[in-house]
Amino acid sequence: MDTIEKDGASSIRLTPTNPNVFVIQPQFDRVGKFSNGLAPVLVGKKWGYIDFTGTLVIQFQFEDAHSFSEGLASVKIKNKWGYINSTGKIVIQPQFDEAKDYLESGAFDFSEGFAPVQIENKWGYVDFIRCSVL
């Protein structure tokens, strides 16, 4: 799937068969990649998550949002980053100054249960299995 723009709105389309057929019509200000069956989408100033049909699965409520990795996605709430599961439940409370995803850094998704995060200019790792900062 590719992200494209039409009249200033981002959309998602399936490219292998017919590049002009929209899977999900342009309606979002920005979109992220699908992972774990969900993609982050921006409308106005809030991010939420849609499924492959374009149905909103996790409400627009986040200041920023990344794609899922190993069942979790980093989201920004009140200027701090935390992690949600695929139902939108916060599983690691927002407390980090920074939480990067693969698209930003090349290697900052969860890997083997760990993801790098920043607090007060110092980097550490979140262990999502134990939900703690190492």
Tokens standing for residue 121? 């200019």
Return the percentage of the chain with pLDDT > 90, whole number: 36
Check: CB of residue 65 under 8 Å from CB of residue 110. Answer: no
The amino acid occupying position 51 is D
pLDDT at 104 over 50: no
* pLDDT tens-digit map of 10-32: 555 444 555 555 567 778 899 88
pLDDT at 133 over 60: no
State the average pLDDT over residues 35-57: 93
Instruction: Please state the pTM of the whole predicted model.
Output: 0.72
CA 75 – CA 90 distance, rounded (Å): 9
